[in-house]
Chains A and B, each alone.
Chain A
Amino acid sequence: MSGSKPLPVVSVQPTRGLVDEKFKVTVQNLLPGEEVTLHALIHSEDGDYWEAFAHYVSDAAGEVKVAEDASVGGSYQGTEPMGLLWSMKPVPGSRTGLRLRKKDVSTPMVVQISVYRGHISRGFKETSPLACAVAERWYTAPGVRRVDIEEKGVRGTLFLPPGPGPFPGVLDMWGGGGGLVEYRSALLASHGYVSMALEYMTPKTMPSGKDSYVGHQYFETAFAVLRDHPQVCSDRVAMLGLSFGTSVALAMAVYSSLIEPSCLVCVSGSHVQPVKGSLSDVFAEINKNVHRTRYDEEKRVIWRDLLLPIPSDPTKKVDVGKIRCPLLLIVGEDDQNWPTSESAEDMKKMMKEGGNSHLLTTLSYPGAGHLIEPPYTPHFRSSNFMVAQTREKVVVLWGGETKAHSYAQEHSWQRTLAFLRQHLYKSDRSNL
């Protein structure tokens, strides 16, 4: 019956997965020891193409299993089950300074996976592949509900898991730039948390003009809106912040008398800020040091020195020795945007002195940059950025080396989910 050459086939399992779920890519019906290239392609919402490729050699059974076999060249090397996703870069000829972010979480990212004969590194568009498969990557599980929040002056998006609840809640705060980012909250809801992506650094949340950022009342109200939602367990609400979001979370946890988070996850942030100030005060303080901005050889902006040196003056940093709930601190040691490693060191010291270091867990990742996000999406060392106050367009250096940064994203996300599970689901609070 055969005598003709076997017909290769590539498969992905699952074909439709969540963004933080692993998948298995398998090529079958090759000849033994055959050289092939696996290629992944995404067409982003912004119209750009991102791609990754890897060189494999089939085994004696004529198969390549990306989850088990080693890539011998390409966008990544070695055994990297999810490398085809996290090592993606814009295709040659693309615009510069790109960042892959999904705005509409109700549709998936669609990844086209192709297998080509031989070890090739270019010309994927012009060459005909041996076989193709398509995978969808979703931020929302089916049944997750999205609700626009505009309540008591608070703006944001609420994501609710399916089912009656009640559920623990997470107040999800991004940093500066990029508008309201929903995908992390959508993912958290897919894991069983009512999650509110809070808008707080956009024109719509600036009460009167470009320099008036919101103050502590805004965040207290936001926390209360989430806590008092009928499907939220009011004594199980966490705060999760990235970058400026960390500043907010730490300040609220220590200084607010109205809210009591169950735990904090602080990613790529710092405790250095004028104590009890509004965000405007924080920016003013940072701006005083704007002369400390550095540039790398490609004129990309390095802002990490603006908060250095870590002050010893207690009025200039959040007194983390007074934190009363568990704190998970996540930092990238190659962060070029904020001095997160130095801050983490100082926080550790302050908590030791304050007698609450048992509440602190620090995850420090060599080679990781500033934007430690949910896993399996491409890393980029720098990207275009618009400075909110001046509307100036720059290219900001975030830092990180792709493989180390992608490892940090995968590991820290798993630990974040485990931390939230531990403190929001498992802990017994019946005697509170």
Chain B
Amino acid sequence: MQGSFLCHSHWGALRQLLGLSVVRARLNKKTVWLHCMMGTMRQRSSCSPAPLLMAMPTRALMDEPIMLEARHLPPHCPITIRARMRSEDGDLWEALAHYHADGRGVVNLSRDEAQGGSYTGREPMGLFWSLLPAPGEREGLRLRKRNVETPFTVRVSLLRGHVLPPTALGCSRDARGRDTQVQEEELAAVTLERWYMAPGVRRVAIREGGVVGTLFLPPGPGPFPVVLDLWGMGGGLVEYRSALLASQGFASLALAYFGHRDIPGPLHRINVGDAYFLPRCVIGINGPMGSMNKLVDFGGKGESFQEDQKHWSYDEEGYVSFRGVSLPANIPPDHMVKIEDLRCPLLLIVGEDDLSCAAMENADKIEEGLQAAGKSHLITRLSYPGAGHLIEPPYSPNARSSLWSTRPTKLITLWGGHLGPHAYAQEHSWKKILEFLDRHLRGGS
């Protein structure tokens, strides 16, 4: 610490040095530190404490709301609240919003309305679902956690005035858009940890019987109801949703079935068949009834995806949408799932701005098929305007597009979804999913 190790007689000189360095960093505190420079150790300068930024809880699960409040501000003063974090790959993500303190000098994000920034209106968790890569970061990013045993660490700062996100040049801009040399001023900060795993949840790698996955178990002896957690054609083994489900008391097996090096067979084919899966009740999120790509049959024959490309479409930036691939008209009839054979409840979740899968059209067909078979009672459909393909657990940002592949060419794919409506879809659907699982797996009311 500056000044800690000098003896008493050097104190005055050191205070001058301290005063100088602090003046450069904090222009608004200039008056205070000049007083200090002239004073002896006894003289007390009038010093206002910094405003306080508090959060509860400071260590939260990813699907848990966090209450953020700033106090001891001058009444009605304009401030910015900014969240910043680094992904596991080191990319910087940030979001910010503009508020005014009330008459008592308080800003409460659960109560107040943001006037601008990454979101507007009353959005208690807006700072988390509106996170975007900072300017200058790589393109096509998607915020996903690979290691679920450690938290995301987020620094939430209280900044003076209404600050705009920095330009790509790294300069700050004031509210009128003029570049300024003044660094935005951080008045207060709080550090948050956001966890996918609750304390006591156990993570078990599964590599047996040909099954490749990770099992998450809640604390306690069990027995537990189990969720089979399946992701899409992005492949690999994605654990975070299962970690969260176990934190809610469900044993959850995140299952890899495609594109994982521990599954025998070429990475670009689906090498597993029907017997790999053991369904009970089903939750479908933005999925097609069938695919051009069959699962491998018992003979071990699979197919690859070259045929798909004739249904791909491109927007003006060259981003690819796979939506056409799953239009019912483009799926061979013998590849369609025989939905009339469904025997268990089905919760169907649809993003109406899904640009990767023809979710609405497929959902329509599923509903028609079930109605024709007299099984409409089995289906519950939740449809979200403005939500895209990647409807995931809540309070993390939607990627409207992201990097899909780098070989043979670099491809960025469109998922769809606008930040606000997509955030709502994630929050609402997650609650519904947990209720559905509770009802059908635990016998809850």
The interface of chain A, by Cβ under 8 A from chain B, is: 1-2, 4-7, 9, 11, 13-18, 21, 28-29, 61-62, 110, 112, 114, 128-129, 131-136, 138, 141-143, 147, 151-152, 162-168, 190-192, 224, 228-230, 233-236, 258, 260, 424-426, 429-432
Contacts and interface: CB of A to CB of B under 8 A. Distances in A.
A7 B225 CA distance: 8
B56 A21 contact: yes
A234 B218 contact: no
Interface in B1-52: 1-5, 7-8, 11, 18, 22, 26, 41-42, 44-50, 52
Contact of B444 (A6, A112, A138, A190): A6
A141 B191 contact: yes
Contacts of A114: 220
A118 B33 CA distance: 66
B174 interface: no
Contact of B50 (A9, A112, A135, A163): A163
A166 B57 contact: no
Given A129-B220, A235-B46, A425-B52, A15 B191 contact: no
A230 B58 CA distance: 26
B190 A29 contact: no
Contacts of B306: none
Interface string B218-237: 11110111000000000000
A316 B289 CA distance: 89
B191 A132 contact: no
B220 A167 contact: no
Contacts of A166: 47, 49-50
B220 A233 contact: no
Interface of B: 1-5, 7-8, 11, 18, 22, 26, 41-42, 44-50, 52-54, 56-61, 64, 71-72, 153, 155, 157, 186-193, 195, 198-200, 218-221, 223-225, 247-249, 281, 344-345, 438, 440-445
A28 B225 CA distance: 14
Contact of A29 (B26, B64, B155, B443): B443
B270 to A, nearest CB: 30
A7 B441 CA distance: 8
Contacts of B71: 425
B50 A224 contact: no
B186 A134 contact: no
Given A21-B57, A132-B218, A224-B41, 12 more contacts: A5-B443, A7-B223, A15-B59, A16-B193, A134-B200, A142-B58, A143-B155, A229-B1, A230-B18, A234-B47, A235-B47, A432-B44
Contacts of B57: 14, 16-18, 21
B249 A131 contact: yes
B53 A235 contact: no
A141 B2 contact: no
Given A2-B443, A7-B443, A142-B191, A135 B49 contact: no
Given A234-B44, A429-B46, A16 B60 contact: yes
A401 B409 CA distance: 74
B1 A147 contact: yes
Given A142-B193, A143-B191, A9 B442 contact: yes
Closest 3 CB pairs of A and B: A143-B191, A134-B200, A132-B220
Given A16-B195, A426-B72, A228 B225 contact: no
Given A5-B443, A131-B220, A432 B46 contact: yes
A168 B47 CA distance: 9
A180 B247 CA distance: 37
Contacts of A5: 443
B198 A425 contact: no
17 contacts: A6-B443, A7-B223, A7-B441, A15-B195, A29-B444, A141-B191, A142-B192, A142-B193, A152-B7, A163-B53, A163-B157, A165-B50, A192-B54, A224-B41, A230-B22, A425-B71, A432-B46
A233 B221 contact: no
Contacts of B45: 234-235
B199 A14 contact: no
Contacts of A133: 198, 200, 218-220
Nearest to B105: A426
A151 B4 contact: yes
A306 to B, nearest CB: 37
A47 to B, nearest CB: 20
Contacts of B64: 13-14
Contacts of A16: 57, 59-60, 193, 195, 199
Nearest to A131: B220
A230 B199 contact: no
Q: Of residues B42, B193, B199, B221, which shows the largest number of chain A Cβ atoms within 10 Å of its Cβ?
A: B199
B59 A142 contact: yes
A164 B189 contact: yes
Nearest to A430: B46
Contacts of B223: 7
Contacts of A14: 56-57, 59-61, 64
